[in-house]
Structure 1
Amino acid sequence: MDQNQTTSTTTMEQNQTPSSTTTTTTMNQNQTSSTSTTFSSLMIGLKPLVVSLVIRLITFSFLLVSLIVIATNSFDAFDIYGFPIKVESTDIHVYRYMISADVIGMAYTLLLIVLIFFQAKSGSPIDSGLAYFEFYGDKIILFLLTTGAAAGLGLTVEYNRLKDNDETTQNMQNFINIANASASVLFLGSISSAISSVISSLNLPKRSSS
């Protein structure tokens, strides 16, 4: 009887071992498949955030260059009494507007960069409040940057049409050329901001519904 019991016990253990191994293997495969699916979904969800982050970094770089160029631009001239004076960019209303557009655009873009970075790091989708803030904020900033660039470039066109050839005008010509370069960089910033605006418009429905 002992031998029969031993044989029966061994047979039961042998029968149970393949079944247990098969179950464990199946569970491991299911867990691996689930992890892979979750990772793929996470990467797909993060792609728009990463693209938006890169575009905003480019926008911030353009605005920073534009601000540095226009804020440090100046030329030497003479007042009505013949005394030498230094004309700064802030003395001209058009360039004040450009500087304001640069500063406001940089502040907004930097804020969005920080928010999107932490959102991408957490791996969770943007909530509806932030999605609407990004959507409407992009439209306002795009308008501001575009009008700032247009004002700066328009002043250059008008000046070149009316300019003379004396020494003071030559100094101002260099000043205008540098300001024109700043306006051109600001225009590039407005283009990248427009791309961000399109992205936020396309992503608004799915982000606001989450």
Structure 2
Amino acid sequence: MDQNQTPSATITIDQNQTSSTTTTMDQNQTPSTTTTMDQNQTSSTSVVNPLILGLKPLIVPLVIRFITFIFLLVSLIVIATNSFDAFDIYGFPIKVESTDIHVYRYMISADVIGMAYILLLFVLTIFQVKSGSPIDGGLAYFEFYGDKVILFLLATGAAAGLGLTVEYNRLMDKDNTTEDIQNFINIANASASLLLLGSISSAISSVFSSLNLPKRSSS
């Protein structure tokens, strides 16, 4: 009887130890893996959410500013590369460029200053949203007054370029005007038209900054 009882007891103990060991290992491993995944997901979400939530109400103004930037960039490329060949008073060939004419030089300055302002505003807006602070105070006033100045600059640049083209076509005799000069004037007129479109979209941005100023400055 002693020989029959001993093996059964031994088998029972081994089974209990094996099952308890297996249960303990499974319980210890599963929560640790789940905790690590939850921490990684939470940290990545906490980094992305403030930037997305901060930029969400600014999507429309930023898109309008981006459209303005495209208009100014194309206008700058067109007017900066515009030129024609002519002859000086001694009969030597010369190349007349847009920078030789004061009106077109003013247009180029308006394009460059407008693009620089939009890029600066992009950087300041994204930096402030990424830092987690609301867009208010100094940036709101900078955007409000900056839009007014840039709108005036772009509008006057477009008016000067278009006005010069109209006066040239009115005063000059087209029979004595060379094809190169006429093409130069037409290209400059296209650049001024793009600048005018940029001033219109800048005016829309100015409306948004005016509407948002009371809300942001009081927050």
The TM-score, its normalising length taken from structure 2, stands at 0.72
Query: For 2:79, which of 70, 87, 110 is the aligned residue?
Result: 70
May I ask how many residue pairs the two structures share in their alignment?
169
Query: For 1:174, which of 183, 186, 205 is the aligned residue?
Result: 183
2:97 aligned partner, one-letter code: E
| Structure 1 portions without partners, runs of 5+ | 1-38
- Whether the aligned pair in 2 keeps the contact of 1:163 and 1:169 (CA below 8 Å) is no
Counterpart position of 2:11: none
Matched, 1:201 2:205: no
Distance change >3 Å, CA 179–CA 169, structure 1 → 2: same
1:100-141 per-position Cα deviation (integer Å, ceiling 9, x unaligned): 000000100111112223344455421210000000000000
1:170 aligned partner, one-letter code: E
Matched, 1:52 2:79: no
Shift of 1:174: 0.3
The correspondence of residues 29-108 of structure 1 with structure 2, limited to 5 A, is 43=53, 46-108=55-117
| Structure 2 portions without partners, runs of 5+ | 1-48
Counterpart position of 2:140: 131
Query: For 2:195, which of 186, 189, 192 is the aligned residue?
Result: 186
The TM-score, its normalising length taken from structure 1, stands at 0.75
- Whether the aligned pair in 2 keeps the contact of 1:49 and 1:116 (CA below 8 Å) is no
- Whether the aligned pair in 2 keeps the contact of 1:57 and 1:113 (CA below 8 Å) is no
What's the % identity of the aligned pairs? 86
- Whether the aligned pair in 2 keeps the contact of 1:73 and 1:179 (CA below 8 Å) is yes
Distance in 2 (alpha carbons) for counterparts of 1:167 and 1:82 = 17
1:52 aligned partner, one-letter code: P
Residue aligned with 1:77, SS: strand
Higher Cα radius of gyration: 2
1:153-207 per-position Cα deviation (integer Å, ceiling 9, x unaligned): 0011001101223565321110000000000001111011101100000000010
Query: For 1:153, which of 134, 159, 162 is the aligned residue?
Result: 162
